Amino acid sequence: MVIITGAGGGLGRASAIRAAQEGAKLSLVDLNEESLKQTKDLILKETPEADVLLITADVSKESDVENYVNHTVQKFNKIDGFFNNAGIEGKPELTADYRSDVFEKVIEINLNGVFYGMKHVLKVMKEQKSGAIVNTASDAGVRGHSNMSAYSASKHGVIGLTRTAAVEYGEYGISINAIAPWAIFTNMVESAMKQMVPKNWEELAKEAVSSNPMKRFGKPEEVGALVAFLLSEAQFINGTVINIDGGMAYKI
């Protein structure tokens, strides 16, 4: 049984489809109810027998997070895996120009939301003495990215939470890891590029592709495969941040 936040699109949707294909029962969480329904339709099209619970929630509100965890346990009695994925990109601005309200919103969703999810899921997993958590960090969580102070700060924080909880809860049979994607082509990535270069974002996309050692964008399905592995077959991998970026993190 797997909970996935941000399941209405992008990495969350791709991971939900993959998890269903592998036989997981799913609790799918997103702020956008219609997007959640679309994800469920896609899952059932490929895996008609899938057992899918949909929960609308704002992950920046702890009461909503506690609610999706409680509803999941009420239906499935346990939580085997948790893809703690919901997030937003914020607005590209230099640090000194960054609006404080936008900064705070990014932190509320990307960092606080991950913390709330871990806090309440870990209580369940500790009691059952098993489980696996994957948090979505970013390449921007392991190095600096211009015009992305809020996003980068939030993702650095996600990595800190991941490593701390990994050493706290390993003895209970719980593995906790983070993934650090770079330029996986999703609506969020497209939106970020359009904000940076509204009139010529396609050229920015071409530059991003040309700078990558593999000369392409990553696919959400490739992230889904990694998440599925970490949630089901990688119990002795714990406290690790795994880059999924075509080798970009090591390019000089």
Provide the annotated active-site residues.
151
| Of the candidates 156, 248, 225, 195, the residue with the CA atom closest to the CA atom of residue 11 | 225
**Dihedral angle of Cα 34, 221, 211, 189, to the nearest 10 degrees:** 10
Rounded to whole angstroms, the Cα distance separating 155 from 143 reads 10
| Of the candidates 79, 240, 115, the residue with the CA atom closest to the CA atom of residue 170 | 240
Q: Is 90 left (phi over 0), alpha (psi -120 to 50) or beta?
A: left
Residues 6+ apart with CB under 8 A from 170: 176, 238, 239
Q: Do the beta carbons of residue 157 and residue 106 sit within 8 Å?
A: no
| Residue whose pair of structure tokens reads 């899952």 in the numeric block | 43
Q: Do the beta carbons of residue 99 and residue 91 sit within 8 Å?
A: yes
Give the 3-state secondary structure of residue 176.
strand
Q: Do the beta carbons of residue 195 and residue 149 sit within 8 Å?
A: no
| Of the candidates 209, 5, 20, the residue with the CA atom closest to the CA atom of residue 115 | 5
